């Protein structure tokens, strides 16, 4: 049986140590931090091929037309895969999920606490997209179920769509194309603009925002961005301190933020009024980020000249004619009736390239977890990886654990690089005599190179 060795984020240097300051090593129950460097034959160790213990054939459920590459990846590892094109409702999941060990979804299927309560075999969840707000992450973590996503793979596809939308809005392309399809010839230049020299405001300067920033500057756009953290700009982009500053200076405002309590309706009546008259709003983030009735009012009043919306508060569960209607969202027909409004069915990441890369990334994460217990990239779980260890290192770890077994070990971390291994442990409630004893016993172990104790 192999145990996963935790890889703690933030320990990038092979000789990292930690210490907890105390005033007295005896009276105030100090914490002892011990860092140990040892010899190891790790280079000669062979990784073990692992399989889940006391579990039959692993059965996976893939919904929402997840890429065929992902399906083949899972099958190549011997998993049984049930693959469906449509999203499932909560009731369907509650009825059928009990037989599955893993599930892969995109953005439409909702994994709620109720669903998880009916999934006794479920080991992991894969979101084949950027967002994870369709999963109850807290409930999943409490059930011991790590959730994986693909935070990078569709960034380029979304960024390119935004550039296309900016140009289409500036030139009123959708309206002119619709008129031509109806046989109408309406050649106009009023209200149509080049984007060169205009200002693009990016709200959320993450993976998509930064790629968009570079593309936009290539078109001659001036780029401003607002983010809740300070981020180094790419190119000539400039970070502004407040959202209001960005809104008041931008000709185009594009949103790239997750759905969080603080981002729901972050663009509403007040924020729309702060935008420049004649500006354009683009939302390719999450549907609840924008107050749509307020946006409709701003468009009808002429304060905004257009918008592009790819995400909506409520979206159909499957492709269907007439599905985007007032029963789904009460304002649907009002929004659809307005000029220079681009509406797309959540296609930001819907390119062959993005779906292939997402399929590869998430299927790899799920497979590594199912077969090895590895959790790097999990959004709701400690990130732990399994490394091959030699017999010498295993013996040393056993010796160290025996030495520490009489004390309260708060944390312990070990890793190896080449023929060196490194172990770090935090131990509480130790006296000065304990510290001396621990040092002597650790120092005398056969593989030890250096032992440092911090109090």
In which order are the strands placed within the sheet that holds 222-226? 238-239, 222-226, 199-203, 252-255, 279-283, 304-309, 341-343
Which pLDDT belongs to residue 392?
A: 59
Residues, the chain: 455
Q: Which residues pair with 201 in a beta bridge?
A: 224, 253
**Pairing mode, if any, of strands 5-6 and 384-385?**
antiparallel
Backbone angles phi, psi at 369, to 5 degrees: -70, -45
Distance of alpha carbon 376 from alpha carbon 5, whole angstroms: 12
Element (H, E) at 119: none
Confidence of residue 52 (pLDDT cuts 50, 70, 90): low
pLDDT band at 31 (very low <50, low <70, confident <90, very high): very low
| pLDDT tens track for 131-166 | 899 999 999 999 999 999 998 899 999 999 999 999
Tens digits of residue pLDDT in 280-310 = 999 999 999 999 999 999 999 999 999 999 9
Query: Which one from 106, 176, 256, 346 is the annotated catalytic residue?
Result: 346
First to last CA, the chain: 35
Count of CB atoms within 10 A of residue 137's CB? Answer: 19
The token pair at 413 is 């971390």
Question: What pLDDT is recorded for position 388?
Answer: 57
Q: Which helix (H) or strand (E) holds 93?
A: helix 90-96
How far apart CA 335 and CA 90 sit, in angstroms, is: 29
DSSP string, 163-208: HHHHHHHHHTHHHHHHHHHTT------TT----TT-EEEEE--SHH
383-416 tens-digit pLDDT:
887 665 555 556 667 788 888 888 888 887 777 7
* Per-residue model confidence (pLDDT) at position 426: 84
| 122, 412, 37, 8: CA torsion to nearest 10 | 50
pLDDT (tens digit per residue) in 78-94? 999 999 999 999 999 99
14: three-class secondary structure by DSSP? coil
How many helices (H) and strands (E) are present in the chain, helices listed first?
14, 18
The three state secondary structure string of 291-318 is: CHHHHHHHHHCCCEEEEEECCCCCCCCC
What is the per-residue DSSP string for 397-438?
HHHHHHHHTTSEEEEEEEEEETTEEEEEEEEES--HHHHHHH
Tell me how far apart the alpha carbons of residues 107 and 129 are, in angstroms, rounded to a whole number. 7
pTM above 0.75, yes or no: no
Instruction: Name the catalytic one among 286, 288, 368, 387.
Output: 286
452 is catalytic: no
> Two tokens at 185?
């010839």
Which of 69, 160, 315, 410 is the catalytic position?
A: 315
Known catalytic residue at 286: yes
The full set of domains in the chain, from first to last, is 5-47+386-454 (3.30.70.1150), 59-152+352-385 (3.40.50.720), 155-343 (3.40.50.720)
Nearest to 58 by CA among 78, 76, 73, 72: 78
How much is the pLDDT for 394? 60
Comparison of pLDDT for 421 and 444, the residue scoring more: 444
In whole angstroms, what is the distance from residue 231 CA to residue 272 CA? 25
User: By the 8 A CB rule, do 359 and 317 touch?
Assistant: no
Question: What does DSSP assign to residue 135?
Answer: B
């Amino acid at each position: 049986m192999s145990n996963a060795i935790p890889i703690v984020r933030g320990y990038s240097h092979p000789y990292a140590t930690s210490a907890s300051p105390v005033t007295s090593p005896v009276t105030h129950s100090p914490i002892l931090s011990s860092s140990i460097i040892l010899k190891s034959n790790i280079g000669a160790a062979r990784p073990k091929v692992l399989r889940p213990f006391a579990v039959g054939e692993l059965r996976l459920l893939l919904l929402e037309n997840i890429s065929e590459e992902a399906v083949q990846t899972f099958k190549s590892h011997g998993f049984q895969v049930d693959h469906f094109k449509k999203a499932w409702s909560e009731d369907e999941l509650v009825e059928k999920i009990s037989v599955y060990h893993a599930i892969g979804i995109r953005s439409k299927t909702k994994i709620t606490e109720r669903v998880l309560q009916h999934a006794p075999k479920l080991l992991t969840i894969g979101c084949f997209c950027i967002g994870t707000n369709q999963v109850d992450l807290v409930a999943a973590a409490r059930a011991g179920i790590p959730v994986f996503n693909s935070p990078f793979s569709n960034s380029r596809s979304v960024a390119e769509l935004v550039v296309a939308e900016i140009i289409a809005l500036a030139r009123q392309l959708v309206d002119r194309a619709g008129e031509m399809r109806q046989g109408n010839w309406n050649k106009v230049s009023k209200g149509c603009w080049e984007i060169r020299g205009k200002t693009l405001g990016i709200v959320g300067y993450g993976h998509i925002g930064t790629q968009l920033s570079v593309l936009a500057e290539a078109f001659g756009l001036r780029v401003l961005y607002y983010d809740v953290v300070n981020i180094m700009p790419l190119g000539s982009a400039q970070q502004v301190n407040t959202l209001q500053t960005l809104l008041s200076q931008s000709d185009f405002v594009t949103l790239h933020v997750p759905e969080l309590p603080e981002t729901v309706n972050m663009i509403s009546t007040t924020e729309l009024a702060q935008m420049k008259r004649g500006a354009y709003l683009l939302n390719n983030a999450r549907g609840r980020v924008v107050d749509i009735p307020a946006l409709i009012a701003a468009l009808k009043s002429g304060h905004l000249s257009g918008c592009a919306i790819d995400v909506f508060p409520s979206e159909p569960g499957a492709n269907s004619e007439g599905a985007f209607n007032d029963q789904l969202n009460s304002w649907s027909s009002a929004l659809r009736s307005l000029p220079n409004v681009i509406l797309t069915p959540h296609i930001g990441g819907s390119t062959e390239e993005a779906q292939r890369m997402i399929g590869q990334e998430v299927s790899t994460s799920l497979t590594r977890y199912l077969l090895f217990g590895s959790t790097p990239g999990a959004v709701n779980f400690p990130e732990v990886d399994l490394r091959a260890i030699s017999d010498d290192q295993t013996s040393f770890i056993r010796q160290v654990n025996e030495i520490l077994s009489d004390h309260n070990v708060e944390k312990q971390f070990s890793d190896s690089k080449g023929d060196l291994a490194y172990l770090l442990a935090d131990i509480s409630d130790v006296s000065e005599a304990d510290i001396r004893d621990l040092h002597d016993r650790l120092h005398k172990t056969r593989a030890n190179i250096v032992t440092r104790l911090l109090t």
